[in-house]
Amino acid sequence: MKKIVALLSFFAFGFIITANAQTPGVNERQQNQRQRIQQGAVSGELTRRETAHARHDQRRIRRAEHTAKSDGTVTNAERARLHHMQNTASRQLSRNKHDAQDRPRAN
């Protein structure tokens, strides 16, 4: 019985690692985007509305990534869609950070 439990837990652990390791580029980009959003909010480059919109975009991408991973395999098409979503969010974030709108800096 102990062997069966150990074997099942080993396979479950391997499946979790495999599922998480399939989108490393997306995960790194999400972390980078979160830092950019935080920096823009603190410096005043992003208004509250722009910050909320950028965070909503990242949640949407995270949900899409979760959906792509749900069957255990992230296909090339799913990966391309995730990267396209990140590209679009990154471009919009850059535009918002460099537009003429400002808000007072956070202390």
Q: What is the pLDDT of residues 41-95, one digit of tens each?
A: 999 999 999 999 999 999 999 999 999 999 999 999 999 999 999 999 999 999 9
Cα(103)–Cα(45) distance, integer angstroms: 7
| pLDDT of residue 39 exceeding 90 | yes
Place of tokens 């479950």: 12
Q: Grade residue 4 by pLDDT with cuts at 50, 70 and 90.
A: confident
Cα(61)–Cα(100) distance, integer angstroms: 27
Helices 24-43 and 76-97 pack at an angle, to 10 degrees, of: 10
- Write down the pTM of the prediction: 0.72
Spatial CB neighbours of 83, under 8 Å, sequence gap ≥ 6: 25, 26, 29
